[in-house]
Amino acid sequence: MKLLLTLSARHVFLQLRQGQQVRAEALFSQQQSSEVRAFLQQHVAPCQMLVDLVEEDFFPMSLPDLPKPELSALLQRRLEARYPGATLRQARLSGRAEGGAQQALLSALTNPGLLQPWLEMLSAENIPLLGIYSLALLGVALVGDCRGSLLLVSFQGRSGLRQSYFREGQLQFSRLSPLFDPADWEAEVARTVQFLRRGQPELVLSVRWLSNASVSAQLPVATEWQPFPPCVAEMHHDVTPGFMEYLVTHPQAAHYLPATQQKNLRTWYWQRGWWWSGVIWLLLSMLWSGYRLATQGEAASLQRATQEMQREMQALPERVSGIPAAEVQAAVAYFRRHASGVTPHQVLQPFSQVWSDFPDMVLDEFSWQQQASGVVLGVQAHLLENRDVRATAAIFERLQQALQQQGYRVQVTQAPYTPSGEFVLQLERP
């Protein structure tokens, strides 16, 4: 199950989806916060937020061709300089120009106060936020590598008319106008075209209408979409459902995600993991208890089983004579530990306590196994943000010390001194 929350300046639209099937949906005004909360309380599931707001800024730019670490650092500096202090911002590389320079797109939601009440509501109801997605940036994914100049026009029934201008596949700007009457659209688009051709009258501009059919068909060339103005039958078609369907059927990284929501999401996944572990152990306990109850009173069967076990024990020295002693010791240690009632929760709880203190580290892969010397954990993770070598070394050293204080013997297989920040640890605990 997954919640899809679509936010515009005036409305909140909620869908509960299982795969591509809609289980429940409701439309509320921005003032109906109590009704939205009631819906969320009835349908608790991870949430994706799709926003279509006027208060979103875009800034395309070119960067020199640099090695990846230097390029990432430069991109972050440009992002901070463009949107200082912004909590909902992102920077992404979008290809190369003909001269070899890197193309990048910076963007930010410039009025996070519009989203804050809904983010706080999700946190209060313990609903993890998978990410905030921009309808305009989803349009970038739809257009793809389109050559030439393209003005993409679409109508969102609860937001208005959006015009996005692309040059050689790169978004230059995206503007949302609160126009809901089709009679006003042609004049508005004509003003935009006049603005684009000012100073370059020879500009060859393709103006296309984005419909639900265009989104679902995903034609390989955006200029094959229906010209603007659309036919009368298409004019009142809201393209928002098409974008919602596209987001569900084409999973992608979040455009914006506050740091607090990232920590809440990790905590939610850990809680779900522990819950399912508890359920599995409970089911196994019930099966074992049922087996024990079913065998009570069957003295003859028990006696036969005892005699068979004795014969197996007598034949055991002959069977294990060719097995290395180290393997036999490991097997004995394994069964002794399980006989003592050690559960996965008892084994993994110290690691969970340490990991929750490091929100800047993301756990990618995790494994554990029982050996003769104790429990061995395999950890593969990466740092959430790029840092210099000194800062990376400091936080990595603190992680190792915290694990050692919990009784783990730490072996570093790969240190995080690479552009990706990935590292691999092997932890052993008696």
Q: Per the domain annotation, does 200 fall within a domain?
A: yes
What sign does the CA torsion over 252, 257, 262, 268 have? negative
* Residue 239 sits in the same domain as residue 383: no
Q: Is residue 96 part of a domain?
A: no
- Give the model's pLDDT for residue 350: 84
CATH of the domain at 350: 3.30.1360.100
Sheet containing 149-156, strands listed edge to edge, beginning at the edge strand earlier in sequence: 170-177, 160-167, 149-156, 205-209
47 with 196, same domain: the answer is yes
| Whether residue 44 is found in the same domain as residue 186 | yes
Domain boundary among 233, 260, 287: 260
Cα angle 137, 162, 60 (rounded to 5 degrees) comes to: 45
345 forms beta bridges with none
Q: How many CB atoms lie within 10 A of CB 99?
A: 7
Domain count along the chain = 2
Residue 8, C-beta contacts closer than 8 angstroms, at least 6 positions apart: 51, 52, 53, 156, 158, 159
Give the residue carrying structure tokens 């294990």. Answer: 320
Query: Does 429 reside within a domain?
Result: yes
Q: Are both 148 and 16 inside the same structural domain?
A: yes
- Residue 254 belongs to what domain range? 2-55+111-260
What average pLDDT values come out for the chain (430 residues) when binned by 10 residues? 90 88 90 93 90 93 87 91 91 80 91 90 88 90 81 89 89 91 89 88 84 59 62 70 86 83 66 72 78 63 70 63 58 55 65 85 81 80 79 88 88 85 86
* Residue pair 190/161 in contact by the 8 Å Cβ criterion: no
Residue 290: how many other CB atoms lie within 10 Å: 10
Q: What is the pTM assigned to this prediction?
A: 0.60
Kindly state whether residue 13 falls inside one of the protein's structural domains: yes
From 211, 237, 260, the end of a domain falls on 260
Note whether 247 and 334 are same-domain residues: no
State the residue for tokens 């690479």. 418
Q: What span, in angstroms and rounded, lies between the C-alpha atoms of 82 and 410?
A: 42
Domain-ending residue, one of 260, 292, 311: 260
